[in-house]
């Protein structure tokens, strides 16, 4: 979602900065376009960082025989660790 939002902001900013020739007196559309493009690039970079950060998961499986009943048992645990 962040990548799409960043691309959207960048495209809208480029339209304001380069394609619109109307110049209202109360706002500078070219500066607003550059600001939107900068915000879009920032959001894209943050989105890429969040996508490629490493995650590690550890799966532990234990098997054995219950000494009281003689039945075989399996226990599986999964732990997700985020490396930041």
Q: Are 49 and 6 a contacting pair, CB within 8 Å?
A: no
Helix-then-strand count for the chain, H and E: 2, 2
pLDDT tier for residue 83 given thresholds of 50, 70 and 90: low
* 43-62 mean pLDDT: 83
CA gap 69, 79 in Å, rounded: 29
Domain ranges of the chain: 2-52
Mean pLDDT over the full length of the chain: 87
pLDDT of residue 32: 95
Look at the block and give the residue holding tokens 């990548």: 3
The structure's pTM equals: 0.64
Other Cβ atoms within 10 Å of 16 Cβ, number = 20
pLDDT of residue 2: 83
* 7-27 mean pLDDT: 93
Is the confidence at residue 16, as pLDDT, over 70?
Answer: yes
**Residue 80, phi then psi, degrees to nearest 5:** -100, 125
């Amino acid at each position: 979602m962040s990548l799409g939002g960043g691309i959207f902001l960048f495209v809208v900013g480029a339209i304001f900065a380069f394609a619109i020739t109307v110049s209202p007196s109360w706002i500078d559309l070219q500066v607003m376009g550059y600001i939107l493009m900068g915000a879009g690039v920032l959001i894209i970079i943050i989105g890429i960082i969040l996508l490629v950060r490493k995650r590690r998961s550890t799966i532990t499986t234990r098997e054995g025989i219950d000494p009281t009943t003689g039945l075989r048992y399996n226990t599986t645990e999964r732990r997700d660790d985020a490396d930041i």
